[in-house]
Structure 1
Amino acid sequence: MIRPSLHSLPALCVIALSLTIAGCADQGGIKPEAQVRSSATFDVGQAISQAGAEAGWPQRAWWQAYRDAQLDSLVSRAVASNPSMAIAAARVRQAQGMAVSAHAGELPSAQLDASIGRKDWSDNVYYGAAFRDKLTWNNTATLSLSYNVDLWDRNKNTTLRAEDELRAVAADGRAAQLELESNVVRTYVQLALQYGLLDNTEAMLREEQKIVDLAHRRFNGGIGTQLEITQAEGSLPETRRQIEALHENIALIRNQLAALLGEGPGAGDGITRPQLVLDAPIGLPSALPAELVGRRPDISAARWRVQAAGRGIAVAKAAFYPNINLMAGIGPAAAGGGLFSFLSAPNVQTSYGPAISLPIFEGGRLRGQLAATTAGYDLEVEHYNQLLAQALKGISDQVVTLQSVQRQQRQASESIAAAQKSVDISTRAYQRGLTDYLNVLHAQTQWLRQQQIAQQLQAQRLAAYATLTAALGGGLESGPAAGAATGTDAP
């Protein structure tokens, strides 16, 4: 049996006393109240269940499904030049630096302190004859070593919390990139819509002008009235106003695209008319919603922050226990003598031993910190749960929209076919002298209006596809530092 020496008994008593007091540290029964919900507990609803499960996750460059080379170029330029991407990268570098700083707390540290002082003593008689009118040196040099004995894993959890936050910030950067990509695509879709509406409105103006010309000819031929001319001319100013408004919209959307590129408005002047073609079917990945946590970057970031908050609770709990540091120092020190006389062997001194700090009475500060940290954990958990529910809602919304738009497009196609049939019938009737050309022009105007509805539905489908892709997390791959945290339980 090994018996402690008399010299080690005081140290053992101090450690025993520290552990006894720490065991009595009152944490007030503070513990998390929120629980992370599993994605399997969410009812995805009929829209998602019936959408199909063979589509797979979006490809990396998902916008290429629109088959528009100009759009591909705009998205690439935006990702390369938009300031939001530089901001996201700077935040990642900042988080990396904080993680390195946190990890330093787990490692030993060494420090060299040296001072050289020359003192000219005064002539005051109180210093004695030995120092009157003397020049002396007071020199020291100490190499200090210290190491924190992380018995309660405070330093370890501090490092892990910083690493989790780094992963969350990296996921935030990918979320910003996905948002930027989808914004460029949706804005580009709106540009295409404005061009289509402009074509349609200009064609409508030409048809309305034909009605006005026909009304004048009927009046000049004695078979029309001035009222017919006034009625025919009444719609022209409004149609011309719509054309001007569409030109304004095109210019403003070009400016918006230029801003998304991170460039001046002049960058939008060279953007030509979009040529969008989308044949992608509606379908959802078979792994939804289980893999949504890892695929969608904002949800991944929220999950990492839940884990980081859990580490924070562990750090706050460790503050109730003793903090033990091992310290040692060696170096020469001497007063008097010459400039380098302190470097001699007899002047070398050493120090070593543990240092223990233990909170005994702190007025509830530690319990307050633990309560605040625990509440922060609950906030992060509920934010994660809310975000996952909103993500599933967003996916369901876009599936409902896409399915509805497809049905509306079929109905719009029937309306266009009926309007085209009316144009054909009125044209044949006019050619046979059974009606006047005014009926033909009215039928053509109605056909153009149905075409306008079809254009709006097509733009709605293009935008909904982009929104659905973003709701699924886009095509951004999850790396080792970006995937969702797993096994995060309440501390």
Structure 2
Amino acid sequence: MPSSVSNRFAMLTVLANLLIIGGCANTGGIKPQTHGTDASALDAGAAIRAANADAQWPAADWWRAYNDPQLDEWIAAAQAGNPTLAVAQARVREALSMAGVARSALAPQVNGNLSIQREHWPDNVFYGPGPLANQNTWNNTGTIGLSYHLDLWGKDRNAAERALDAAHASAADARTAQLELEANVVRAYVGLSRDYALLDIAKDTLEQQEKLAALARHRLAGGIGTQLDVSQAETPLPEYERQVDSIQESLALGRNQLAALAGKGPGAGDSITRPALALSIASGLPSALPAELIGHRPDVVAARWTVAAQARGLDVAKADFYPDINLLASIGGYAAMGPLFNFLRSASGSWSAGPALSLPIFDGGRLRSQYGAAAAGYDQAVEQYNQTIVNALKDIADQVVTMRSLETQINDARRSVAASRRNFDLSEEGYRRGLTDYVNVLIAQTQLLAAQQGLARIQAEQLMAHASLETALGGGLDDPANGPKETEALPGHGSRSAVTLLIRNPDVTPVVPPAAAGR
């Protein structure tokens, strides 16, 4: 009885000393020096405040608003075959596997060891005579060991959560890559549509110029024209032919780009027909606070998870200051002589059990340096998050400004085309009747060509701007709820009891494996 009381007293003494040592851990005044920016506190700017606030959040298939089945097919092909997107998916799987490695430290570890050796003992002056001289024996060992880290300071738990936070960030990065890929396909496809429109304009202009040249030659033959008129009419022809060739080259390059985005060879782009884009929705923003506007972006969600991971890394570094206790136990059999299975007999067995304590006493400042590096890493993640939300708000504001400007520019460009067309028709008719000089026709045609090309380019820019606005708002691939809670992004708040999934809506994106489950 006295021995039992003494053992209990010894255990309580050890635990008390551990608590005292833990309470005396000194980080040398090292701590994070920055804090996250509250997106709601940022001034969204006049452009966002003045934007129409009646739009819906982008859907995951936001590009279907262009009403072009061929575009839908190419985006599906890109999602399935793009190598860069496949790399992003592989990184998510890698991060999930690493999270599993870190989480395994929370469970008891059981390991077995078996060694079976046949040994011949020497018979010489070094060994000397004896019962084993010149004999063959079995020297066998079989053990099973168990170890369990008590994790009194949450080091293993925080390390597991840090790895899972990194997996969350990788999943959000993969959604960012998917969104960028979708936007690039749309932009390339809109560029193809623009080049078709420019090709029509160039061919029409070339045809008009050929008719004017024929008219000039006819007038010269009839004695009412001059050689100068013929020369002036024929001079633009090579340039207009060059423009047709240049646009056809751009069309071929655009097809190659779409094929590459889909992970296919250039030949796959030969089947692309003329786009038939018809945007069916008006531009605008959802009615939301700035924090919610940017919270749907995958890059913002990824930045938040990175901050949470660095916060858990800070907790891991702090736990290194405290003592570690491992519970160890082993059982096994040992035999240096006798039959093959002699080590399995009860007489050859042994066991051991007990705690193992490790305590940092003097490390030359290593632990404080590690903690300082972790604190600096946390500050970097926070500032990168701050920069991400600043860039996100700027991106949204830029797209709103661009969309509003393009609406005005399109109206101006249409008026310019109408005026240039009227001027060209009048000058052409006057030249036919011999009332005006051909120079007037040439000037009017140049103005009409520039106006038509300008309108085609502005219309394409408007289609591209819609894609940019959809991606700036997150493209329907993420949600603020997919990110960590505010307390989870702070050091010392690493314990989580709720279950968090990497993908709360698995139908949104095929990027993350279905088995991506979190805590």
Letter in 2 for 1:58: P
Per-residue deviation, 1:434: 7.8
Q: Aligned partners of 2:7 and 2:488: how far apart in 1?
A: 46
User: Is the CA contact 2:36–2:382 (under 8 Å) kept in the aligned structure 1?
Assistant: yes
User: Is the CA contact 2:294–2:392 (under 8 Å) kept in the aligned structure 1?
Assistant: no
My pick for the range that moved more, 211-220 or 32-41, is 211-220
User: Is the CA contact 1:207–1:445 (under 8 Å) kept in the aligned structure 2?
Assistant: no
Secondary structure at 2:34's aligned position in 1?
coil
Q: What pairs up with 1:119-198 in 2 under 5 angstroms? A: 119-124=119-124, 126-198=127-199
User: Is the CA contact 1:300–1:485 (under 8 Å) kept in the aligned structure 2?
Assistant: no
Q: Aligned partners of 2:58 and 2:130: how far apart in 1?
A: 91
Q: Tell me the equivalent position of 1:279.
A: 280
Q: Aligned partners of 2:168 and 2:332: how far apart in 1?
A: 43
Q: Aligned partners of 2:18 and 2:189: how far apart in 1?
A: 67
1:340-388 alpha-carbon deviations (Å, 9 max, x no partner) = 2222222221101100111111111111111111111111111111011
Letter in 2 for 1:345: S
Q: Aligned partners of 2:479 and 2:45: how far apart in 1?
A: 27
Q: Aligned partners of 2:182 and 2:469: how far apart in 1?
A: 13
User: Is the CA contact 1:193–1:456 (under 8 Å) kept in the aligned structure 2?
Assistant: yes
Q: Tell me the equivalent position of 2:5.
A: 5
Q: What pairs up with 1:412-491 in 2 under 5 angstroms? A: 412-423=413-424, 425=426, 435=435, 438=438, 443=444, 446-478=447-479, 482-483=482-483, 485-491=485-491
Q: What pairs up with 1:250-329 in 2 under 5 angstroms? A: 250-329=251-330
Secondary structure at 2:487's aligned position in 1?
coil
Q: Tell me the equivalent position of 1:77.
A: 77
Q: Aligned partners of 1:362 and 1:487: how far apart in 2?
A: 32
Q: Tell me the equivalent position of 1:39.
A: 39
Listed as ranges, the gaps of 5+ residues in structure 2 are 492-519
User: Is the CA contact 1:294–1:484 (under 8 Å) kept in the aligned structure 2?
Assistant: no
Per-residue deviation, 1:220: 2.6
Q: Tell me the equivalent position of 1:403.
A: 404
User: Is the CA contact 1:78–1:260 (under 8 Å) kept in the aligned structure 2?
Assistant: yes
1:105-160 alpha-carbon deviations (Å, 9 max, x no partner) = 00001111122233322223554433323333332211111100000000000110
The TM-score, its normalising length taken from structure 1, stands at: 0.93
My pick for the range that moved more, 15-24 or 207-216, is 15-24
Residues 83 and 425 (structure 1), Cα distance of their counterparts in 2 relative to 1, 3 Å cut: same
Q: Aligned partners of 2:442 and 2:129: how far apart in 1?
A: 122
My pick for the range that moved more, 368-377 or 337-346, is 337-346
1:32-59 alpha-carbon deviations (Å, 9 max, x no partner) = 1121112101111011111121102012
Q: Aligned partners of 2:153 and 2:477: how far apart in 1?
A: 38
Residues 3 and 407 (structure 1), Cα distance of their counterparts in 2 relative to 1, 3 Å cut: farther
Q: Tell me the equivalent position of 1:219.
A: 220
Secondary structure at 2:271's aligned position in 1?
coil
Letter in 2 for 1:96: L
Secondary structure at 2:285's aligned position in 1?
coil
Per-residue deviation, 1:102: 0.5
User: Is the CA contact 2:67–2:280 (under 8 Å) kept in the aligned structure 1?
Assistant: no
User: Is the CA contact 2:66–2:278 (under 8 Å) kept in the aligned structure 1?
Assistant: yes
Q: Aligned partners of 1:364 and 1:63: how far apart in 2?
A: 56
The TM-score, its normalising length taken from structure 2, stands at: 0.88
Letter in 1 for 2:387: Q
User: Is the CA contact 1:293–1:300 (under 8 Å) kept in the aligned structure 2?
Assistant: no
Q: Tell me the equivalent position of 1:358.
A: 359
Letter in 2 for 1:473: G
Residues 79 and 485 (structure 1), Cα distance of their counterparts in 2 relative to 1, 3 Å cut: farther
Q: Tell me the equivalent position of 2:103.
A: 103
Residues 336 and 61 (structure 1), Cα distance of their counterparts in 2 relative to 1, 3 Å cut: same
Q: Aligned partners of 1:23 and 1:188: how far apart in 2?
A: 63
Residues 165 and 303 (structure 1), Cα distance of their counterparts in 2 relative to 1, 3 Å cut: same
Q: Aligned partners of 2:428 and 2:213: how far apart in 1?
A: 18
Letter in 2 for 1:37: T
1:238-266 alpha-carbon deviations (Å, 9 max, x no partner) = 11111111111111111011100100000
Q: Aligned partners of 1:258 and 1:250: how far apart in 2?
A: 12
Q: Aligned partners of 1:295 and 1:254: how far apart in 2?
A: 32
Q: Tell me the equivalent position of 2:65.
A: 65
Secondary structure at 1:374's aligned position in 2?
helix
Residues 369 and 165 (structure 1), Cα distance of their counterparts in 2 relative to 1, 3 Å cut: same
My pick for the range that moved more, 98-107 or 7-16, is 7-16
1:185-224 alpha-carbon deviations (Å, 9 max, x no partner) = 0011111111111110111112222222232233333333
User: Is the CA contact 2:22–2:322 (under 8 Å) kept in the aligned structure 1?
Assistant: yes
Q: Aligned partners of 1:7 and 1:428: how far apart in 2?
A: 115
User: Is the CA contact 2:301–2:480 (under 8 Å) kept in the aligned structure 1?
Assistant: no
My pick for the range that moved more, 284-293 or 107-116, is 284-293
Listed as ranges, the gaps of 5+ residues in structure 1 are none
Residues 293 and 214 (structure 1), Cα distance of their counterparts in 2 relative to 1, 3 Å cut: closer
Q: What pairs up with 1:18-29 in 2 under 5 angstroms? A: 18-29=18-29
Per-residue deviation, 1:14: 4.8
Residues 172 and 485 (structure 1), Cα distance of their counterparts in 2 relative to 1, 3 Å cut: farther
My pick for the range that moved more, 447-456 or 19-28, is 19-28
Q: Aligned partners of 1:400 and 1:264: how far apart in 2?
A: 38
Secondary structure at 1:332's aligned position in 2?
strand
Secondary structure at 1:360's aligned position in 2?
coil
Letter in 1 for 2:34: A
User: Is the CA contact 2:40–2:289 (under 8 Å) kept in the aligned structure 1?
Assistant: no
Secondary structure at 1:143's aligned position in 2?
strand
Secondary structure at 2:224's aligned position in 1?
coil
Per-residue deviation, 1:415: 1.9
Q: Tell me the equivalent position of 1:52.
A: 52
My pick for the range that moved more, 109-118 or 417-426, is 417-426
Q: Aligned partners of 2:446 and 2:307: how far apart in 1?
A: 59
Q: Aligned partners of 2:358 and 2:83: how far apart in 1?
A: 47
Q: Aligned partners of 1:218 and 1:127: how far apart in 2?
A: 128
Letter in 1 for 2:217: H
Q: Aligned partners of 1:38 and 1:168: how far apart in 2?
A: 20
1:260-297 alpha-carbon deviations (Å, 9 max, x no partner) = 01000000101111111113211101124222454111
Q: Tell me the equivalent position of 1:231.
A: 232
My pick for the range that moved more, 270-279 or 120-129, is 120-129
User: Is the CA contact 1:19–1:322 (under 8 Å) kept in the aligned structure 2?
Assistant: no
Per-residue deviation, 1:3: 10
Q: Tell me the equivalent position of 2:496.
A: none
User: Is the CA contact 1:22–1:358 (under 8 Å) kept in the aligned structure 2?
Assistant: no
Secondary structure at 1:291's aligned position in 2?
helix
